[in-house]
Amino acid sequence: MSFDIDISLSTQALTTINETGENLTMLVTYYGDPSPAGKKYVNDIGTVELVSKTIELNVPGEPIHVSGHDITQSRLAWINDSVKVNVNLYSSRKASDDNILDCDFIDDELKNVVSASPVPMHCSLISENRQSNAKP
């Protein structure tokens, strides 16, 4: 259930983060569609969350390893078929009350993400008006 993410920043985003002392936050959520056993665990968007983890990152350099070891194996009975994963990146809001980054994101079946590992994810400042992309 593990994979790697290779994060890159635009020049403007890197400069702003370095000048302000901002960091990146990564939210990783493993989830799936409910099985009959998981119906009582369905969230407000109709899926079953297996585990969600928030990780604060320093300015990117080396790929980030996402282990997936926090998933309780018994919860896999709560979902049909395959595990899915969602990864979002945003600013840690240390220097600003608002998120300043527009980043690519992951929302796919885990097997596809693992196959594409390391998954490249790029972030720019929201003010740069760059289109974020779904990965892998």
134 in Cβ contact with 104 (< 8 Å): yes
10 Å CB burial of residue 111 (0-12, 13-18, 19+) is middle
Which DSSP state fits 94?
S
Cross-strand bridge partners of residue 4: 65
Instruction: Give this prediction's pTM.
Output: 0.92
Question: Which is it for strands 119-125 and 3-9: parallel, antiparallel or unpaired?
Answer: parallel
Nearest Cα residue to 135 out of 3, 12, 21? 3
CA distance 91 to 100: 6
Which residue ranges make up each domain of the chain? 3-135
Helix (H, G, I), strand (E, B), or coil: what is residue 71? coil
Q: How far apart are the first and last CA of the chain?
A: 15
Q: Write out the chain's pLDDT in tens, 136 residues.
A: 899 999 999 999 999 999 999 999 999 999 999 999 999 999 999 999 999 999 999 766 778 999 988 898 999 999 998 999 999 999 999 888 999 999 999 999 999 999 999 999 999 999 999 999 999 9
pLDDT at 63: 87
